[in-house]
């Protein structure tokens, strides 16, 4: 039984993989013209379908919206009961249907065309009513469904999803849609945090330990301990950053000398410490920590005045790894 389960799964993956690979044949001049039409659309992209294709249409709509192409979902059945009113003259309509012959689709197409908008068909039947009456037709024909009965939409819906993603990716690149643009539409959750959270959101909650070059060793250790960040900054009398002393620096110093009397911060601090400005993205700060294998970054303003410390644990706590 277990062997059969693995075989069922691998067979299904193989069939769907073949369906996706076959889409390369659809990346032709018709596809290029379709992308150009979407790129030049001054209105919204209205995406419609019914059944499983309707679910794919909703996913495609969500992808378009999140990547800078305004889109609305219109259920093919609801369209003929009032929802057709969402289609405006500057819009473009995508209709998804495997057969291209569904009764609801046949009713919808002439109604949409009467509004003077262009129609893009995504169908697995290029001889269908939908394909023949659309302005552009994208072929998502599959050899067979992954369903052993060749009935449940599986390979066909996978091909539809991939075609929608490919359209979105082309538009992203044509519009020069950046990760900062993406972040504007994803302010919540981990995506928003990775794209928007900066060091300014983290360091103010920490202590701000600092000593000056002449600070005696005992007080240096006290500053590190009190700050609970494993380090203390070394600044001049005007608060300009000079260096850093970590608890590791202190341990290494104790391993190499027995004479502690008269020792001060200037005898052990590291010059040119790794530092960032408040506007540095937390994601970038994490990369600096990993690159240099350190646990703390000093925070300074544009003139190198000391502001605080951000610790590796601050970033881990916020989900950065």
Tens-place pLDDT, residues 14-37: 999 999 999 999 999 999 999 999
* 261, HSE (Cβ side, Cα atoms, 13 Å): 0
| C-alpha to C-alpha distance for 266 and 260, rounded to whole angstroms | 13
Which of 156, 167, 132, 172 lies closest to 55, judged by CA? 156
Residue scoring higher pLDDT (195 or 34): 34
Q: Report helix, strand or coil for 195.
A: helix
Cross-strand pairs, 121: 95, 137
Is 80 exceeded by the pLDDT of residue 297?
yes
For residues 85-103, give the mean pLDDT. Answer: 95
| pLDDT digit string, tens, across residues 263-294 | 999 999 999 899 999 999 998 999 999 999 99
Range 2-177 classified under CATH 1.20.1250.20:
no
Domains of the chain, by residue range, sit at 2-177, 199-317
What is the pLDDT at residue 186?
A: 65
Is 90 exceeded by the pLDDT of residue 192?
no
Across all residues in the chain, what is the average pLDDT? Answer: 93
What is the pLDDT at residue 189?
A: 61
| C-alpha to C-alpha distance for 268 and 156, rounded to whole angstroms | 67
What is the pLDDT at residue 257?
A: 82
Contacts of 291 (CB under 8 A, 6+ apart): none
What is the pLDDT at residue 187?
A: 62
**Which parts are annotated binding residues?**
75
| Spatial contact of 276 and 244, defined as CB atoms under 8 Å apart | no
Which of 229, 291, 289, 224 lies closest to 251, judged by CA? 224
Query: How many CB atoms within 10 Å of residue 96?
Result: 32
For residues 174-200, give the mean pLDDT. Answer: 77
| C-alpha to C-alpha distance for 247 and 199, rounded to whole angstroms | 22
What's the distance, Cα to Cα, between the start and end of the chain in Å?
A: 40
What is the pLDDT at residue 242?
A: 96
What is the pLDDT at residue 97?
A: 96
Is 70 exceeded by the pLDDT of residue 191?
no
| C-alpha to C-alpha distance for 291 and 276, rounded to whole angstroms | 14
Q: Report helix, strand or coil for 321.
A: coil
Cβ burial 5-14 (10 Å sphere, 16+ → b, else e): eeeeeeebee
Q: Quick one: pLDDT band at residue 11, thresholds 50, 70, 90?
A: very high
Stated as kind and residue range, the H or E segment containing 232 is: strand 231-235
Range 199-317 classified under CATH 3.30.300.30:
no
| C-alpha to C-alpha distance for 104 and 82, rounded to whole angstroms | 14
What is the pLDDT at residue 232?
A: 97
For 72, 137, 140, 170, 225, the CA distances from 39, given in Å and listed in that order, are 16, 16, 21, 9, 59
Is 80 exceeded by the pLDDT of residue 194?
no
**Which parts are annotated binding residues for Zn(2+)?**
75
| C-alpha to C-alpha distance for 59 and 53, rounded to whole angstroms | 10
């Amino acid at each position: 039984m277990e062997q059969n389960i693995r075989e069922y799964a691998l067979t299904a993956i193989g069939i769907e993989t073949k369906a996706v690979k076959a889409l390369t044949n659809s990346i032709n001049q018709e596809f290029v013209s379709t992308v150009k039409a979407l790129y030049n659309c001054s209105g919204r992209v209205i995406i419609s379908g019914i059944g499983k294709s309707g679910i794919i249409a909703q996913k495609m709509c969500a992808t378009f919206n999140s990547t800078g192409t305004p889109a609305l979902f219109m259920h093919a059945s609801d369209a003929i009961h009032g929802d057709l009113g969402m289609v405006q003259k500057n819009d473009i309509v995508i209709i998804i249907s495997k057969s291209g012959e569904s009764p609801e689709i046949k009713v919808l197409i002439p109604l949409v065309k009467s509004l003077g908008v262009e129609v893009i068909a995504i169908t697995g039947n290029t001889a269908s009513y939908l394909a023949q009456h659309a302005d552009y037709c994208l072929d998502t024909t599959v050899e067979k469904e992954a369903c052993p009965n060749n009935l449940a939409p599986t390979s066909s819906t996978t091909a539809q999803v991939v075609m929608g993603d490919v359209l979105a990716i082309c538009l992203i690149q044509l519009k020069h849609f950046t990760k900062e643009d993406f972040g504007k539409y994803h302010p919540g959750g981990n995506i928003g945090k990775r794209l928007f959270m900066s060091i300014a959101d983290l360091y103010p909650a920490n202590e701000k330990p600092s000593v000056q070059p002449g600070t005696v060793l005992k007080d240096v250790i006290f500053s590190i301990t009190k700050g609970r960040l494993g380090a203390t900054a070394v600044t001049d009398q005007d608060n300009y950053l000079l260096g850093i002393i970590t608890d590791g620096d202190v341990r290494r110093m104790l391993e190499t000398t027995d004479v502690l009397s008269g020792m001060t911060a200037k005898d052990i601090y590291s010059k040119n410490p790794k530092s960032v400005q408040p506007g540095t993205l937390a994601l970038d700060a994490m990369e600096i920590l990993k690159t240099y294998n350190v646990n703390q970054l000093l925070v300074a303003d544009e003139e190198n005045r000391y502001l605080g410390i951000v610790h590796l644990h601050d970033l881990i706590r916020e989900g950065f790894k």
